[in-house]
A and B are shown apart, each in its own frame.
Chain A
Amino acid sequence: MSKIDKTPLFTNLQTAIELEHSTIPPYLAAYFTIDQDTNTFAWDVTRSVFMEEMLHMTLACNILNAVGGQPSIDNPKFIPEYPTTMEFADRKFEVGIIKFSRPAIETFLEIEKPSEQRLHVMGEHMKNLMEPIKLDEKTIGEFYQVIKDQLIQMVDDYGEAAVFSGKQELQISPKEYYGGGGEIIEVHNLDTALLAIDVIVDQGEGASGTIYDGDETYFDQDQEVAHFYRFNEIYLEQQYAKGDHPDDPPSGDKVTVQWDVVVDMVNNPKAANFPEGSAARAKAEEFNQLYSHFLRLLHRAFNGECNLLVKAVGMMYQMKYVAAELLNCPADHKGKMAGPPFEYVPLADRQQYGWLVEELVEELKVTIP
């Protein structure tokens, strides 16, 4: 049997994992800076979108594990430095950790924009979005198509068993994953791998030619509107009605978005930028620590210790509460508040911060008093 070189496939899948993750901190920042009761619609949408990004990341890990690769989560290059940039044909745009705002939603629209070539103008803000965003000169949809093609080709050349050589026990199952966003697919062959990719693409961009995300087809759920269109609903403060066409503005119920009932968070917070000894610095460091612990737990969960995913989710809850505390700490004397920096803390510098799980305690060699 000739040797398969899976490196290009592994690289693309790792990039996919990083890509899905890279949108999570910006979405979380928007979500953290609004309140469930005063901005219910936007809160529900942003929460639902980042839960789906978590699902996408998990699906990408399942695919990588299924083909014998190893997801790398806990490494300093995993998180982009914010603000990061996305490039396309005639311009770049920034993706940053900024508060919920029209600029934030505009950025999210850019990220989630469908790969459809023709885009009718739907509003003033859409005039600039005529060109699809690029990823190595591809849209996100096209990028995933490359992965699909790679898989199909390799199965053709080497057979399914050789391609999907990964251990079944590494797969994250519906048992470990919950909270909305759809169902986890355990990947073990070409069909399940392709299905997983379709879920990632359709939930983001919309099942071809519709505003819906195909969840009804996959998961027997009530039809849900794809991310891009959900962000548009926030931006235009109106929901899509059943049967609306993607090229047309939404025609459903109006929604309330209170753009000014938002924590005035400083843009792209960094722990080191807060004064030493300040509440902001202390909480920012705590946040980064918890976030790094979270990445560690994800890393271990996606590399064989599936039961740790539940613990990783628990760590995410703690991050949320510390982020809320951080948003109450002044960043400067101009009235801006601090915010979650999402910075990587190397393993050697990690400490126990109140909440921790046994497995990590071992790694850190911390003594519990």
Chain B
Amino acid sequence: MNNQQDEDVWTNSQTSVNFYAMKKETLHAFTQISVVLTGFSNADLTGTGLIATYYETVLKELGAEETSSLLATFERIKISNPEQITAQEERQAQEMVSGPTFKTAISQVIQLWYTGQWNATDGSSYIISSHSYLEGLVWKAIAAHPMGGKQPGYGTWSYPPLTFSSNS
């Protein structure tokens, strides 16, 4: 139960703290790969306010070399529209996802986006911040909301379930 991020709970949330400080190209590349891996749109990922924070986390946890290798390998697939990948592009992406080189890292990145939590290979884990927990994409994927936040309002649990989770 690691609460090291408690102080930083809100610093990265709604202000564009590090967004323009980082190399735009790297963040762009990270966003593109995240769109493909998570299945969520650029608008949805930008809306979390966590692209820069997650990139920092990945950089810290995987190291500069593995991170740039991951991004560079992905670039080579030359996906024209990450929000609508072709069958061919999907096959190539699947090779990366399932292949031995990036399998673990990719799984960790998707988990980070989906749960706001980093799960290290040694079994330890931590949640980046309250904000990252609340922005976990798993809840959007199942057309619900994070337990304990983004409450939908009185009586809404009586309605039929949504059948898709966003306009994307």
Return the CB mask of B42-57 against A: 1 if under 8 Å, else 0: 1111111100000000
Name the prevailing secondary structure of the B interface residues.
loop
Segment of B100-108, B110-118, B155-163 in the binding face: B155-163
Return the CB mask of B136-168 against A: 1 if under 8 Å, else 0: 000000010000001111111001101111110
Find out whether the CB atom of A263 lies under 8 angstroms from the CB atom of B15: yes
Find out whether the CB atom of B47 lies under 8 angstroms from the CB atom of A355: no
Q: Which residues of B sit under 8 angstroms from A355, Cβ to Cβ?
A: 152, 162
Which residue on chain A has the smallest CB distance to residue B24? Answer: A333
Return the CB mask of A304-339 against B: 1 if under 8 Å, else 0: 000000110110111001101111111000010100
Distance between Cα atoms of A284 and B65 in the complex (Å): 37
For residues 115 through 157 of chain A, which have their beta carbon under 8 Å from a beta carbon of chain B?
none
Find out whether the CB atom of B153 lies under 8 angstroms from the CB atom of A354: no
Q: Which residues of B sit under 8 angstroms from A263, Cβ to Cβ?
A: 14-15
Return the CB mask of A342-367 against B: 1 if under 8 Å, else 0: 00000000010111111000000000
Find out whether the CB atom of A310 lies under 8 angstroms from the CB atom of B160: no
Q: A314-B153, A317-B151, A317-B152 are in contact. Are A330 and B44 (CB under 8 A)?
A: no
B13 adjacent to chain A (CB < 8 Å):
yes
Find out whether the CB atom of A329 lies under 8 angstroms from the CB atom of B43: yes
Interface bin, chain B: 20 to 34
A273 adjacent to chain B (CB < 8 Å):
no
Q: Which residues of B sit under 8 angstroms from A314, Cβ to Cβ?
A: 152-156
Q: Which residues of B sit under 8 angstroms from A316, Cβ to Cβ?
A: 153
Distance between Cα atoms of A264 and B49 in the complex (Å): 13
Find out whether the CB atom of A328 lies under 8 angstroms from the CB atom of B47: yes
Find out whether the CB atom of A38 lies under 8 angstroms from the CB atom of B156: no
Find out whether the CB atom of B49 lies under 8 angstroms from the CB atom of A328: yes
Distance between Cα atoms of A244 and B39 in the complex (Å): 57
B9 adjacent to chain A (CB < 8 Å):
yes
Q: Which residues of A sit under 8 angstroms from B74, Cβ to Cβ?
A: none
Find out whether the CB atom of A354 lies under 8 angstroms from the CB atom of B143: yes
Find out whether the CB atom of A328 lies under 8 angstroms from the CB atom of B48: yes
Return the CB mask of B15-56 against A: 1 if under 8 Å, else 0: 110011000000000000000000001111111110000000
Q: A325-B48, A328-B47, A369-B163 are in contact. Are A35 and B155 (CB under 8 A)?
A: no
Q: B117: shortest Cβ distance to chain A, in Å? A: 20
Find out whether the CB atom of B153 lies under 8 angstroms from the CB atom of A313: yes
Distance between Cα atoms of A78 and B24 in the complex (Å): 41
For residues 277 through 321 of chain A, which have their beta carbon under 8 Å from a beta carbon of chain B?
279, 282-283, 286, 310-311, 313-314, 316-318, 321
Q: Which residues of B sit under 8 angstroms from A325, Cβ to Cβ?
A: 43-44, 46-48
Q: Which residues of B sit under 8 angstroms from A4, Cβ to Cβ?
A: none
Find out whether the CB atom of B9 lies under 8 angstroms from the CB atom of A37: yes
Distance between Cα atoms of A318 and B154 in the complex (Å): 13
Distance between Cα atoms of A82 and B44 in the complex (Å): 26
B10 adjacent to chain A (CB < 8 Å):
yes
25 contacts between A and B (CB under 8 A): A33-B14, A38-B10, A178-B154, A261-B15, A279-B46, A283-B46, A283-B47, A286-B43, A311-B155, A314-B154, A314-B156, A317-B151, A317-B152, A317-B156, A321-B150, A324-B47, A328-B13, A328-B46, A328-B49, A329-B46, A351-B167, A353-B166, A354-B143, A356-B162, A369-B163
> Sorted from nearest, which 10 A-B pairs have the closest CB atoms?
A325-B47, A328-B49, A279-B46, A314-B153, A282-B43, A279-B43, A317-B153, A263-B14, A314-B156, A310-B155
Q: A286-B43, A313-B153 are in contact. List 17 more A-B contacts (CB 8 A).
A: A35-B10, A35-B14, A38-B10, A263-B14, A283-B47, A314-B155, A316-B153, A317-B156, A324-B47, A325-B46, A326-B47, A328-B16, A329-B46, A329-B47, A330-B46, A335-B20, A369-B164
Chain A residues within 8 Å of B, Cβ to Cβ: 33, 35, 37-38, 178, 261, 263-264, 279, 282-283, 286, 310-311, 313-314, 316-318, 321-322, 324-330, 335, 337, 351, 353-358, 368-369
